[in-house]
């Protein structure tokens, strides 16, 4: 018999999967570069009309199929080629986990450094540029931290759904929520915090005319929820059939967005209170913030909590990414979960070597002027996830059969069901295609 989540365990694991580096590290710098509040509005619209319908769709397909992504799509669509979307997810997972674990490794290094004091040695606001650049240019140190994060992930996922992934999320998620709320409260109490709130909640209307802002916001919605890569499809295959899919999806999406906004409230008020430019790019969390922590009262504790949050949130997302290829390999190779997990993690580590070395050994290698890590991120958020998302939307909206889809989602005979299908049939695919073309 296939393993099954407990109800609350599934919700925690689902929020844990969605909430990760995307909500803290990525959300803050992408919002910073794309006009703050204007970006936030488009992001939330994309979450409601594209993200939520896709999470429901993935959970519905997964809970019907009760198998890995490829087998499920093959079974549910025996005549089409939809299983290719499953194959894309399995291959995509190696690359996502590859580059994701690089940044997760940085977060772990900073957490350990903040706790043992070595991160605070530079002691100046502007010293962290050299600190960070020095660290990521070394070959073996970033690789080592990355490997450590992957090893932790493998140990948990190899433990199974209930005793591995669910148990770890039960421990980590409440802790992470407490930390992010505490950090936001602290940041909001600083003098000059209002400017951060203005930035996050008062739109700069001109940003609405820039297509790049739309792409960034939609790309962020995909990345932050982790949709289009069969993650919810795979997690959904272990769902208790009696658990409501729409309710669970709504709770997960709401939890993810609240976590992103709370993380924004932890970061921007402090950034503005210190007169720092928020459009710093991916370095915001690793250069700007440690400098800031080194200057504020209690900053060492705050910094330790922040990087602990970052590493912990990354870990709970890594479980779900690793589960996609692990479930596939376990079936395909008829091997144990342990072996499949170890193999999938090793392949991900290999896929992650180029972006990990993109700042030192492979510094000269750029794609379209970008280093390897940013190229991976771009390819994943702006190409792989939206493409996977379109395929899942089209399959559910057109390929699966209206009645089957509505029934699987528990939305038959309801107005909401009609709206859900409309989002999957037209709104999602058209919006994503338009943006592909506009860029
Ligand atoms: N959603 C996760 C985050 O926000 C990352 C993720 C991306 C997970 C893509 C799965 C797929 O960090």
If you measure from the C-alpha of residue 412 to the centroid of ligand 1, how many angstroms do you get, rounded to a whole number? Answer: 30
- List pLDDT tens digits, range 251-281: 999 999 999 999 999 998 998 888 888 777 7
Going from the Cα of 223 to the center of ligand 1, the distance in angstroms, rounded, reads 5
Residue 82: give its domain's CATH number.
Answer: 1.20.1740
228, 381 contact by CB (below 8 A):
no
Return the ligand 1 atom nearest residue 380 CA.
9
Q: Is residue 1 part of a domain?
A: no
- What CA–CA distance (Å, rounded) separates 299 from 302? 5
Mutation choice for ligand 1 from 13, 16, 22, CB with most ligand atoms inside 8 A: 22
Q: How confident is the model at residue 244 (pLDDT cuts 50, 70, 90)?
A: very high
Of ligand 1's listed atoms, the one at least distance from the Cα of 229 is: 11
pLDDT of residue 219: 86
**Helices and strands, number each (H, E), in the chain:** 22, 0
Contacts of 12 (CB under 8 A, 6+ apart): 166, 169, 170, 173
Measured in angstroms, how far is the CA atom of residue 167 from the centroid of ligand 1? 20
Cα of 321 vs centre of ligand 1, distance in Å, is: 8
The best mutation among 225, 226, 262 to test binding of ligand 1, ranked by most ligand atoms within 8 Å of the C-beta, falls on 226
Ligand 1 atom with the smallest distance to the CA of 385 is 9
Q: Is residue 103 in some structural domain? A: yes
Ligand 1 pocket, CB under 6 A: 18, 20-23, 96, 223-224, 226, 229, 231, 317, 321
User: Which residue CA neighbors atom 8 of ligand 1 most closely?
Assistant: 226
Do the domain assignments include residue 238? yes
Q: What's 253-286 look like in SS3?
A: HHHHHHHHHHHHHHHHHHHHHCCCCCCCHHHHHH
Per-residue confidence at 439, pLDDT binned at 50, 70, 90?
Answer: low
The half-sphere exposure of 40 on its side-chain side, counting CA atoms within 13 A, is 22
What average pLDDT does range 63-74 have in this prediction? 96
pLDDT band at 369; cut points 50, 70, 90: confident
Domains identified in the chain, total number: 1
**Is pLDDT of 402 > 70?**
yes
In degrees, rounded to 5, the angle at the alpha carbon of residue 14 between the alpha carbons of residues 13 and 20 is 90
The answer as to whether 240 is a domain residue is yes
Tell whether the torsion through CA atoms of 188, 15, 224 and 52 is positive or negative: negative
Q: How far is the CA of 200 from the centre of ligand 1 (A)?
A: 22
- 219 domain-assigned: yes
Atom number, ligand 1, closest to the C-alpha of residue 227: 11
pLDDT, average across residues 284-290: 88
- What average pLDDT does range 291-315 have in this prediction? 93
Ligand 1: residue whose CA is nearest its atom 9 = 226
Digit-coded pLDDT (tens) for 221-232: 989 999 999 999
Neighbours of 202 (CB within 10 A): 10
Predicted local confidence at residue 415, as pLDDT: 94
Distance 300 CA to ligand 1 centre (A): 28
Alpha carbon of 318 to ligand 1 centroid (Å): 8
Q: Please give the distance, rounded to the nearest whole angstrom, from the Cα atom of residue 88 to the centre of ligand 1.
A: 16
Does some domain include residue 235?
Answer: yes
From the CA of 231, give the closest atom in ligand 1: 10
Residue 78: band (very low, low, confident or very high) from pLDDT cuts 50, 70, 90: confident
The predicted structure's pLDDT at residue 71: 97
Residue located nearest, by CA, to atom 7 of ligand 1: 226
Rounded to 5 degrees, what are φ and ψ at 124?
-120, 155
Per-residue confidence band for 316, with pLDDT thresholds at 50, 70 and 90 = very high
Residue 164: pLDDT band (50, 70, 90) is: very high
Rounded Cα gap, residues 375 and 98, in angstroms: 12
pLDDT band at 201 (very low <50, low <70, confident <90, very high): confident
What pLDDT, on the 0 to 100 scale, is given for residue 418?
Answer: 96
Mutate to test the pocket of ligand 1, among 16, 18, 51 (most ligand atoms within 8 A of CB): 18
Per the CB < 8 A criterion, the answer to whether 109 and 145 are in contact is yes
Under 8 Å CB-to-CB from 112, ≥6 apart: which residues? Answer: none
pLDDT in tens, 324-339: 999 999 999 999 999 9
In this structure, what are the phi and psi dihedrals at residue 370, rounded to the nearest 5 degrees?
-110, 150
Arithmetic mean of pLDDT over the chain: 92
Say yes or no to pLDDT of 159 above 70: yes
Residues of the chain with pLDDT > 70, as a percent, come to: 100
Substitution site in 317, 318, 352 for ligand 1 pocket (most atoms within 8 Å of beta carbon): 317
- Using the predicted structure, report yes or no on whether residue 380 has a pLDDT greater than 90: no
Q: Rounded to a whole number, what is the distance in angstroms from the first to the last CA of the chain?
A: 47
Residue 2 resides in a domain: no
| Rounded (to 5) percent helix, strand, coil in the chain | 80, 0, 20
What is the model's pTM?
0.94
Q: Which domain does 114 fall in, by range?
A: 7-438
């Amino acid at each position: 018999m296939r393993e099954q989540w407990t109800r609350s365990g599934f919700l925690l694991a689902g929020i844990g999967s969605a909430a990760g580096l995307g909500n803290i590290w990525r959300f803050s710098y992408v919002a910073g570069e794309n006009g703050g509040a204007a970006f936030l509005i488009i992001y939330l619209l994309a979450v409601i009309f594209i993200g939520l319908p896709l999470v429901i769709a993935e959970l519905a397909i997964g809970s019907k199929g009760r198998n890995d992504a490829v087998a499920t799509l093959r079974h549910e669509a025996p005549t089409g080629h939809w299983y290719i979307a499953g194959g894309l997810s399995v291959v995509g997972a190696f690359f996502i986990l590859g580059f994701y674990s690089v940044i997760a490794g940085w977060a772990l290094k900073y957490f350990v450094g903040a706790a043992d004091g070595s991160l605070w040695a530079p002691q100046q606001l502007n010293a962290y540029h050299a600190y960070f650049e020095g660290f990521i240019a070394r070959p073996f140190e970033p690789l080592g931290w990355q490997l450590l994060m992957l090893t932790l992930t493998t140990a948990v996922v190899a433990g199974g759904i209930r005793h591995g992934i669910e148990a770890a999320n039960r421990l980590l998620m409440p802790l992470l929520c407490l930390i992010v709320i505490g950090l936001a409260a602290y940041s909001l109490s600083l003098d000059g915090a209002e400017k951060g709130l203005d930035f996050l909640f008062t739109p700069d209307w001109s940003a609405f005319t820039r297509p790049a802002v739309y792409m960034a916001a939609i790309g962020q919605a995909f990345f932050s929820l982790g949709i289009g890569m069969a993650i919810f499809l795979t997690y959904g295959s272990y769902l208790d059939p009696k658990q409501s899919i729409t309710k669970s999806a709504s709770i997960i999406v709401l939890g993810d967005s609240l976590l992103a906004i709370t993380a924004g409230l932890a970061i921007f008020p402090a950034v503005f209170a210190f007169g720092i430019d928020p459009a710093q790019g991916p370095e915001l969390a690793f250069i700007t913030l440690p400098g800031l922590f080194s200057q504020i009262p209690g900053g060492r504790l705050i910094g330790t909590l922040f990087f602990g949050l970052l590493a912990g949130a990354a870990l709970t997302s890594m479980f779900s990414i690793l589960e996609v290829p692990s479930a596939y390999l376990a079936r395909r190779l008829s091997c144990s979960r342990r072996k499949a997990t170890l193999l999938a993690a090793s392949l991900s580590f290999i896929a992650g070597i180029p972006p990990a070395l993109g700042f030192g050994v492979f510094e000269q290698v750029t794609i379209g002027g970008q280093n390897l890590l940013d190229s991976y991120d771009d390819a994943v958020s702006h190409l792989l996830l939206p493409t996977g998302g379109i395929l899942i939307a089209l399959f559910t909206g057109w390929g699966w059969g209206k009645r089957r889809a509505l029934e699987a989602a528990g939305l038959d005979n309801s107005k909401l069901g009609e709206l859900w299908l409309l989002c999957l049939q037209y709104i999602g695919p058209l919006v994503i295609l338009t943006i592909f073309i506009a860029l």
